[in-house]
Amino acid sequence: MSVAVSNPPEHVDACRLDIPLQKKRARAVLRALGHAKSDLSVGLVGDVEIRELNRDYRDKNRATDVLSFSLVEGEWSGFRGTMLGDVVISIETAARQARARHRSLNEEVTRLLIHGILHLLGHDHEEDEEARTMRAEERRLSTVCRS
């Protein structure tokens, strides 16, 4: 299993982010989801970059915290041992959310990483039941990351 994490752009202050820890947590999440042999790419970007992606791919011209670009949708969603896709996290948005939620930047990025990985694997939160299921899975995976 390979988890590739890009370094954030120079203009983004991510000095409090422990990238090796995030890779370790991503691998733990993938194992817990039955994707121990799958690969993942994580892009750490700023608000400008994620706003452009959100505009170009989702028609929403605003920054967001996390975007997922799956390579295993549809008939490939159950396929194991391949590149799952890209999770893109805005470190600037994550830092604001961490401050507002009184948690560390590492904890907030882990939360976003879990959320993004679940989206890669087809989870959604558009409907109430989907949202409940996804939140429960996020809580379970958060526990996996702490052990």
pLDDT tens by residue, 88-126: 999 999 999 999 999 999 999 999 999 999 999 888 888
Q: Please give the Cα distance from 135 to 8 (Å, whole number).
A: 27
pTM of the model: 0.90
Most confident of the ranges 11-20, 58-67, 77-86: 58-67
**Residue 83 — pLDDT band, cuts 50, 70, 90?**
confident
Q: Residue for token digits 């995976």? A: 141
Q: Residue for token digits 């390979």? A: 2
Q: Please give the Cα distance from 61 to 68 (Å, whole number).
A: 16
53 within 8 A of 69, measured Cβ to Cβ? no
pLDDT tens by residue, 42-58: 999 999 999 999 999 99
Q: Check pLDDT > 70 for residue 22.
A: yes
All domains in the chain, ordered by first residue: 3-146 (3.40.390.30)
**Residue 25 — pLDDT band, cuts 50, 70, 90?**
very high
